[in-house]
Amino acid sequence: MSTTTSPVRGATAQSIGSLKIVPFLHPQGCRTYLIGDPDSGQSLALDVHLDLVKDVADRVRAEGWSLPYVVDTHTHADHPSGAGDLAPQFGSTRIAHKAAHHRGVARHPDDGDRLHLGDQVVTIRHAPGHTPDHLVLLTDGALFSGDTLFIGGVARTDFLGGDAGQLHDTIHALIADLPDETVVYPGHDYEGRTSTSLGNERANNPWLRLSDRSAFVKALTANPPPRPANMDDLLRLNREGVKIPDRIDAATVAERVRQGGATSVVDVRMGAEYESEHIPGSRLIPLDQIEQRLEEVMAVPAPRLLLCRTGNRAFMARDTLVRHNVAGLSVVEGGIEAYRRLGGDVKTGVQRMSLERQVRIGAGLLVILGALLAWLVHPLFIAFAAMIGAGLVFAGVTDRCGMALVLAKAPWNRARGEEAAGTAGGCAASLPAAGGCAASAPTAGGCAATHLPPPLDSDA
């Protein structure tokens, strides 16, 4: 049985009244919550990211809870929901607003509907603005604000039928009667924070202090950021339950890259190969580093497209990532060779010898060495050459080559600057770019407004 480690941060339980709140911090900046009532052993999972299904399921089982409810606050446009995967494991009722039209959702609550976790009450409020189908949850002492109110920010409203004026009205109506001590758990945070208090937001959130509706609308609708990466794919997945395929053909990838989807391509070849030729905007995370850089892979917006020269290493990377509970992975069939052949855009640099050629030359030299030693030193050295032959047969049968893995670590196969930066050879490939969601800073393409309103007159 393989051991798995999770790059999910947080997951430390907090108590709000009688409820236990377990936040899960996804490297993409998304927040998933498990809300449990220890007395009754009943719990509710909120906005489960597809990558976090196992983390949440493990936690429910570890607590010895049941999971009667799995809720999506709205149709997520920036990440895949795991509700459809989690709910069947516990016989949970999936809940979303009726306007979401999510396949598999059994309950469409009205504003003010209540869910019960033992004696504890969770009130559902319709909270349109970011999207028309948005819900928030209220418990005694906590507001799970989804994509309405963030820590120091608010949601964007420029896609999926969002409405800035409606968001303004929603937020102010929602918090009007809530005390300052209310703990706010947002649907996203890009700076690693888990919660805030309503009092803190009232005092410091510039969007909340901007009470004038028309000024709020004018400021929020100015300079809309790019749409989230892969938004159409994610909407199909989140609405219709369409699964992300294990593999994707290179022609489709070429078209997707043309439409701006390169930020979801994870190139698992060696740095030197990447330097020779790569898809502009793709991220380099070599196969031999993938386990150490899980957070970077998870920060890539799904569906994540795994690329190597012909496909073999991408499948190995996929196996490794799946073992670590990373979901939403598609291997690019035929790798960059097929992608280039089909007209995909590539950027070329200094040409380096391919790993396959290095293996052939290295194996040949070792066989010659074994033969020479057998001839000149001792006949038993022929066994050395035989071992190399056996290794090549094993590599051919299993498609796993030990010599290739060793050679991949050689200094001449690294990209320039790769060791120092720990990232992609000078192309910033491992840093989230526009259209993604960074773990540490709000970026274009997430669900948060990426700018602040102008200062209030009284502050000027």
Compute the least distance from the CB of residue 94 to Fe ion, in Å: 18
Interacting stretch for Fe ion, rule CB under 5 A, among 88-96, 119-127, 346-354, 445-453?
A: 445-453
- HEC string of 171-239 equals HHHHHCCCCCCCEEEECECCCCCCCEEHHHHHHHCHHHHCCCHHHHHHHHHCCCCCCCCCHHHHHHHHH
Interacting stretch for Fe ion, rule CB under 5 A, among 28-36, 239-247, 328-336, 439-447?
A: 439-447
DSSP at 262: G
Cβ closer to Fe ion: 208 or 447? 447
Q: How far separated are the first and last CA of the chain, in Å rounded?
A: 62
Q: Does 37 bind Fe ion (CB under 5 A)?
A: no
Interacting stretch for Fe ion, rule CB under 5 A, among 199-207, 390-398, 443-451, 452-460?
A: 443-451
Cβ closer to Fe ion: 174 or 447? 447
| Phi, psi at 101, each rounded to 5° | 55, 45
How many residues bind Fe ion (CB under 5 A)? The answer is 2
Cβ closer to Fe ion: 109 or 228? 228
Q: Verify cis geometry, omega within 30 degrees of 0, for the bond prior to 88.
A: no
Cβ closer to Fe ion: 19 or 447? 447
Compute the least distance from the CB of residue 300 to Fe ion, in Å: 18
3 state DSSP class of 15: strand
Cα–Cα distance measured from residue 2 to residue 71, given in angstroms and rounded to the nearest whole number: 31
| Phi, psi at 130, each rounded to 5° | -60, -50
Compute the least distance from the CB of residue 125 to Fe ion, in Å: 16
Interacting stretch for Fe ion, rule CB under 5 A, among 165-173, 244-252, 364-372, 446-454?
A: 446-454
Closest listed residue to residue 151, CA positions, set 460, 442, 456: 442
Residues 146-185 contacting Fe ion, CB under 5 A: 147
Cβ closer to Fe ion: 137 or 279? 137
- Indicate which single residue of 447, 448, 449, 450 sits in contact with Fe ion (rule: CB under 5 A): 447
Q: Which residues contact 365 (CB under 8 A, 6 or more apart)?
A: none
DSSP at 454: P
Cβ closer to Fe ion: 231 or 447? 447
Cα–Cα distance measured from residue 225 to residue 383, given in angstroms and rounded to the nearest whole number: 64
Tokens 């035929």 correspond to 334
Closest listed residue to residue 23, CA positions, set 134, 105, 142: 142
Compute the least distance from the CB of residue 28 to Fe ion, in Å: 12
Cβ closer to Fe ion: 74 or 313? 74
Contact between 44 and 53 under an 8 Å Cβ cutoff? The reply is no
Compute the least distance from the CB of residue 185 to Fe ion, in Å: 15
Compute the least distance from the CB of residue 326 to Fe ion, in Å: 21
Compute the least distance from the CB of residue 129 to Fe ion, in Å: 11
Interacting stretch for Fe ion, rule CB under 5 A, among 1-9, 104-112, 376-384, 444-452?
A: 444-452
Contact between 402 and 395 under an 8 Å Cβ cutoff? The reply is yes
Residues 86-125 contacting Fe ion, CB under 5 A: none
Q: What angle do CA 23, 24, 25 make, to 5 degrees?
A: 115
Contact between 230 and 302 under an 8 Å Cβ cutoff? The reply is yes
Contact between 443 and 73 under an 8 Å Cβ cutoff? The reply is no
Interacting stretch for Fe ion, rule CB under 5 A, among 15-23, 99-107, 158-166, 442-450?
A: 442-450
Compute the least distance from the CB of residue 448 to Fe ion, in Å: 9
Both tokens assigned to 380:
């038993």
Cβ closer to Fe ion: 38 or 187? 187
Cβ closer to Fe ion: 444 or 447? 447
- Burial bucket for residue 433 (CB in 10 Å: 0-12, 13-18, 19+): middle
Give the CB-nearest residue to Fe ion: 447
Per-residue x/- track, 230-269, Fe ion (CB under 5 A): ----------------------------------------
Contact between 171 and 216 under an 8 Å Cβ cutoff? The reply is no
Cβ closer to Fe ion: 335 or 445? 445
Compute the least distance from the CB of residue 79 to Fe ion, in Å: 9
Compute the least distance from the CB of residue 130 to Fe ion, in Å: 6
Cα–Cα distance measured from residue 430 to residue 427, given in angstroms and rounded to the nearest whole number: 8
Compute the least distance from the CB of residue 47 to Fe ion, in Å: 9
Compute the least distance from the CB of residue 442 to Fe ion, in Å: 13
Q: Which residues contact 78 (CB under 8 A, 6 or more apart)?
A: 28, 30, 228, 229, 231, 234, 301, 437, 445, 446, 447
Residues 346-365 contacting Fe ion, CB under 5 A: none
Cβ closer to Fe ion: 147 or 418? 147
Residues 123-152 contacting Fe ion, CB under 5 A: 147
Cβ closer to Fe ion: 413 or 450? 450
Positions that interact with Fe ion (CB under 5 A): 147, 447
